[in-house]
Chains A and B, each alone.
Chain A
């Protein structure tokens, strides 16, 4: 079956620090992979995606590379800002064409 395992939070960083949030998955074949972000009290917003092995998704300074050999899709950002404080969800696209989400990682960035 499908599973998505995310780094447990919460993660607290100082502004301008480097961010890594780990995500590994189990699925049949090579699914498309996504990162979504959820700000307090809101729905989820697509942050970035990758559709095949070795693809790199990027948006707003965030990056993630689809690693087939390690079944991973780790999220990184070189210099976080206070406005990046949110919950981040890793997800995979199932064979039924719906998204299966991890449990989320809460990031807090302090000035």
Chain B
């Protein structure tokens, strides 16, 4: 069964350092999402891509977070500088496209657990 690949699985970084996460969506999935899940809470959308274009980054803290999907396939989410409050699970998901989400939902990766110390 096709999967959304994420790496690393775990990351510990010191505050004020830079950190990056990588996501490879399911082949053919045009829409890619990054979510942040703080322990004990539901996932919150950070950014949504349609192919290589950002369609929603209204909840992305742009002073320290950036995301790119240069060729419309894999994607990188970066935090610089990391703060203690950034400790969370970062989840990537993909879908066939905006018109297909209602019938198929998303497929999520296993996530990257970030701990900032």
Contacts and interface: CB of A to CB of B under 8 A. Distances in A.
A4 B44 CA distance: 12
Nearest to B111: A43
B117 interface: no
A99 B105 CA distance: 8
Interface in A14-69: 32, 34, 36, 41-46, 49, 51
A32 B102 CA distance: 6
A34 B105 contact: yes
Interface residues of A, number: 24
A105 B70 CA distance: 37
Nearest to A47: B105
Consensus secondary structure, chain A interface: strand
Contacts of B109: 43
Interface string A92-109: 010011111111100000
Contact of A44 (B40, B43, B48, B99): B43
Contact of A102 (B42, B55, B107, B108): B42
B48 A96 contact: yes
Interface of A: 4, 32, 34, 36, 41-46, 49, 51, 89, 91, 93, 96-104
